[in-house]
């Protein structure tokens, strides 16, 4: 990809991400917003910018699935993602013509096999992606859902997820991706 093509791709991606962010934040209330910056290689930048250009979300959509005790989130469902060697929220890439919420629901079913009632947007992150002189943004939507079934079953067609398990918020593994964000959401939900 030439310098001009990469610059143009980053601008297209940025415009798509800005629209996605505003669509989400206009549609939902009571979410926590974060901003992050990620530095990546030129090749990774191009891959992520293409995803953002196509759907706005470089890493797809995810779900904070919780079980409740006394009307407040008590336990959180995490899945073990072997590709990143971390406990993560169920979620993944947006497919064509799929909304973020549809993506989150589909991925929850594939990665953990749990039924849930969706409550809305839990968190949204505006992610700045940089590589050298190139920069674009992406959006990371995370939806909140209350579990309706409690026995996780991994059926991941990509074979990236090796386990699904419930954790109390006071016992989240140290190797949980975005652990502090999840704890902030839990504190807000109480």
Walk along the chain (190 residues) in steps of 10 and give the mean pLDDT of each run. Answer: 84 96 95 96 95 96 86 82 94 93 95 93 97 96 92 81 91 94 86
Burial of residue 174, with CB atoms counted within 10 A of its CB: 0-12 exposed, 13-18 middle, 19 or more buried? exposed
- pLDDT at residue 70 in the model: 62
- pLDDT at residue 179 in the model: 93
As a whole number of angstroms, the distance between CA 105 and CA 110 comes to 9
- pLDDT at residue 24 in the model: 96
The domain covering 3-189 belongs, at the CATH homologous superfamily level, to: Nucleoside Triphosphate Pyrophosphohydrolase (3.90.79.10)
């Amino acid at each position: 990809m030439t310098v001009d093509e990469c610059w143009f791709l980053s601008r297209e991606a940025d415009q798509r991400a800005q629209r996605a962010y505003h669509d989400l934040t206009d549609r939902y209330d009571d979410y926590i917003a974060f901003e992050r910056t990620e530095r990546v290689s030129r090749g990774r930048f191009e891959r992520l910018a293409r995803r953002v250009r196509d759907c706005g979300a470089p890493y797809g959509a995810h779900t904070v699935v919780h079980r409740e005790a006394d009307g407040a989130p008590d336990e959180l469902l995490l899945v073990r993602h072997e590709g990143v060697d971390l406990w993560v929220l169920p979620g993944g890439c947006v497919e064509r013509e799929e909304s973020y919420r549809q993506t989150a629901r589909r991925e929850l079913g594939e990665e953990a096999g749990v039924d849930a009632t969706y409550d809305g947007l839990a968190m949204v992150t505006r992610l700045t992606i940089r590589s050298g002189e190139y920069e674009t943004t992406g959006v990371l939507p995370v939806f909140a859902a209350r579990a309706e079934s409690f026995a996780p079953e991994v059926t991941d067609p990509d074979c990236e997820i090796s386990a699904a398990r419930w954790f109390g918020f006071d016992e989240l593994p140290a190797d949980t991706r975005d652990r502090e964000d999840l704890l902030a959401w839990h504190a807000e939900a109480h």
